Structure 1
Amino acid sequence: MTAPPARKQFTVEDYARMRETGILTEDDRVELLDGEIYLMSPIGPVHVALVNKLNRILGQQIGDQGIISIQNPIRLDPRDEPQPDIAILAPRDDFYASALATPDDILLVIEVADTTLTYDREQKLPRYAQAHIGEVWIIDPSAQTIEQYTNPVQGLYTNRHTVLPGENVRAQNIPSISFTSDRIF
């Protein structure tokens, strides 16, 4: 009888020490999910364009109601520190200089899934639900859809709405965010 090799589970503190000591550098595109370090996919032109379009639209609509955080880490719990493409955070005077955003700070998470649709749905979405992030959007450029997930209960989103081309998307917790999907595709 053989056993699979044991895996080392990391905490966010372990992960931070790896960055501080140079084991992981700023050039390493990685994130911590469920205690494991995942390599993130390279960012291509479609991804860049969608994030830039969303940043412009959201910035025009949100004003001082929140902080738009682009591809920065958020701390969900002691074993999860993902880097969503966009996170809308509650306003804070220090703009999160003193500590990373935690679930109570996060109003909306957006993942652009040009090459990561399965990973975003199967790995990241459950972590967001377990952390009670109230709303997550997964943008699928190939299908030109926005999957809108709300109402997390016991680690699962109980509501999923797919915004089709030409339809309007409205953030549940940020009423000022509303636009047609055609503006980004």
Structure 2
Amino acid sequence: MTSLPEWMRPPREEGWFADDLDHLPEAPRHTELIDGALVFMMSPQRSWHARVVTTLTSTLMQQAPEGFEVEREMTVRLDRRNRPEPDVLVTRSTFDPDRTWHAPEHVALVVEVVSPESEHRDRTVKLRKYAEAGIPHYWCVEEESSVPVVHVYELDRPTGVYAPAAIVRGTLERVVPFEVGIDLGALVPRKSR
């Protein structure tokens, strides 16, 4: 067994802090910080996942009204020890080409496209952490017979947890955080026979 590269060693006994991610140029792309631990996407990304993220980002960009920005794979600094990277996010921030993360109070929607490697984090850990940070909308996109199915959650402010709002197959129509209509079947091409 080879030793860990020096950059993988936590800089302090308490582990990593959110700001440390900006000083790890050797870290692989899509490195997240969850509870002070670095999380890497170790398995290769599937075409299905990449296509859903790309087409969903593009579709939301086309439908977003003025005052909203849509980005993909940008971290959200939830607190000092948590900086997850949603697949897609919608913010009320103005575009800043030097930005490396968003503050949760500027995030209107986070979207996670579930993959085998991330299913536990996407369905439980991130669901809880995004709600605790006050992000009002969360979509968890699952694969069902190669077609996207969206589990829609809205933040219940009095309890501070997400309430399931819908499980959507076919066409996703929402009025929050802005009016959107998405043909989910069109996000991924059908398998050729």
TM range (shorter): 0.7 to 0.9
Give the structure 2 partner of residue 122 of structure 1: 124
User: 5 Å matches for 1:19-98?
Assistant: 19=24, 22=25, 25-40=26-41, 41-92=43-94, 94-95=95-96, 97=98
| Structure 2 unmatched ranges of 5 or more | 1-12, 189-193
Question: Deviation of residue 96 (structure 1)?
Answer: 6.1
Give the structure 2 partner of residue 179 of structure 1: 182
Q: Which one of 158, 163, 180 corresponds to residue 158 of structure 1?
A: 163
Question: Deviation of residue 28 (structure 1)?
Answer: 4.6
Q: Residue 87 of structure 2 contacts residue 112 of structure 2 at CA under 8 Å; is this kept in 1? A: yes
Give the structure 1 partner of residue 17 of structure 2: 11
| Root mean square deviation, CA, Å | 2.3
Matched, 1:111 2:112: yes
Query: Is the alpha carbon distance of 1:152 and 1:35 closer, same or farther for their aligned partners in structure 2, counting shifts above 3 Å?
Result: farther
Question: Deviation of residue 142 (structure 1)?
Answer: 3.0
- SS of residue matched to 1:97: coil
Give the structure 1 partner of residue 102 of structure 2: 101
Separation (CA, whole Å) in 1 of partners of 2:101 and 2:171: 34
* Post-superposition CA distance 1:77-130 (Å, at most 9, x none): 1111111111111141x5263563111110111111132222201221111011
Question: Deviation of residue 158 (structure 1)?
Answer: 2.3
Q: Residue 132 of structure 2 contacts residue 161 of structure 2 at CA under 8 Å; is this kept in 1? A: yes
Amino acid at match of 1:181: L
Query: Is the alpha carbon distance of 1:167 and 1:125 closer, same or farther for their aligned partners in structure 2, counting shifts above 3 Å?
Result: same
Amino acid at match of 1:158: A
**If the length of structure 1 is used for normalisation, what is the TM-score?**
0.80
Q: Report how many aligned residue pairs link the two structures.
A: 171
Q: Residue 89 of structure 2 contacts residue 110 of structure 2 at CA under 8 Å; is this kept in 1? A: yes
- SS of residue matched to 1:64: coil
Name the % identity. Answer: 24
* Post-superposition CA distance 1:32-62 (Å, at most 9, x none): 0122211224322111111121122112111
- SS of residue matched to 1:140: strand
Question: Deviation of residue 169 (structure 1)?
Answer: 3.1
Q: Residue 70 of structure 2 contacts residue 89 of structure 2 at CA under 8 Å; is this kept in 1? A: yes
Separation (CA, whole Å) in 2 of partners of 1:59 and 1:28: 23
